[in-house]
Amino acid sequence: MTNAAARPGRGRRPAEEVRTRVLAATSTLLFDEGLRSVTFDRVANVSGSSKTTLYKWWPTPGALAADAYFASSRERLEFPDSGDIRRDIRSQLRAFVRLLTDGRAGSVIAELIGAAQSDPALSEALSAGYTMPRRRLAIDAIERARGRGQLREDADPDLLVDQLWGACYNRLLVPDNSLSEAYADALVDNALRGAATGAYQRQQSW
């Protein structure tokens, strides 16, 4: 038996396994120590990967940090589809607020947004991997609600997303007032009073 055969665990790991290990290591650094801790040197050391691999997949440490944040938050931000737009938006916006206010996730996304202003690669990663996909899910939900007759035909999905999720980001980044689930509920009701059809409004207890 050769040495190589005796050590089946050695050798080149599948790319997806390497990527998963890198993202897990990056997430740990990001949430434990903040964005400044995410350097290719430290991530390579913690994950057991080479810096060459990191440079091949991510243009900057910021883009890598963004990917790690997306991977850790994806399941918590699923958008429900119960058939009732008020219930679904309230559920998703509450989950979003909990993500921003429980633990380190809020401060991490605030760091990423701030750093994206001077890191084009991070800005692109933030948009492509996180904010635009989240926006698309919300827009799709709003368009389905229009098709069900719950929202007016002239209700602008992009503006509703800005009113709801944008307001939460504002309170995160400009902390003059607290961010809470009660605030999220108030945002939803305020927005839908203007966007809902008369028939749907009569079904609600505001």
DSSP 3-state assignment of 124? helix
Work out the angle at residue 78's Cα, subtended by the Cα atoms of residues 76 and 82, and round it to the nearest 5 degrees: 130
Q: How far, in Å, CA of 18 to CA of 206, rounded?
A: 50
At residue 169's C-alpha, the angle toward residues 178 and 174, to 5°, is: 55
Strongest mean pLDDT among 1-5, 127-131, 143-147: 143-147
Output helix, strand, coil percentages for the chain, rounded to the nearest 5. 75, 0, 25
- pLDDT, position 78: 79
Q: Is the pLDDT of residue 76 over 90?
A: no
Are 95 and 101 in contact, with CB atoms under 8 Å apart?
no
Question: Which pLDDT band, with edges at 50, 70 and 90, does 79 fall under?
Answer: confident
Residue 141 CA from chain centroid, whole number: 17
pLDDT for residue 13: 66
Quote the pLDDT of residue 9.
45
pLDDT value at 160 more than 90: yes
Q: Copy the structure tokens of residue 151.
A: 């929202």
Apex 201 CA angle, 199 and 205, nearest 5:
135
Kindly report, residue by residue over 170-197, the tens digit of the pLDDT. 999 998 999 999 999 999 999 999 999 9
Q: Is-above-0.75 flag for pTM?
A: yes
Question: Sorting pLDDT into bands at 50, 70 and 90, what band is 115?
Answer: very high
Task: Give the mean model confidence (pLDDT) for residues 198-205.
Answer: 91
pLDDT of residue 2: 39
- Identify any residues that bridge with 151 across adjacent strands, giving them in sequence order: 196
Other residues' Cβ atoms within 10 Å of the Cβ of residue 83? 11
Q: Considering the chain, what is the average pLDDT of its residues?
A: 91
Q: What is the mean pLDDT of residues 3-24?
A: 69
End-to-end Cα separation, the chain, in angstroms: 75
Q: Which residues are registered as beta bridge partners of 196?
A: 151
| 95 vs 9, more confident | 95
Q: Is 194 left (phi over 0), alpha (psi -120 to 50) or beta?
A: alpha
What pLDDT was estimated at residue 175? 87
The CA-atom distances, in angstroms, between 71 and each of 11, 76, 171 are 26, 10, 24
Q: Is the pLDDT of residue 47 over 50?
A: yes
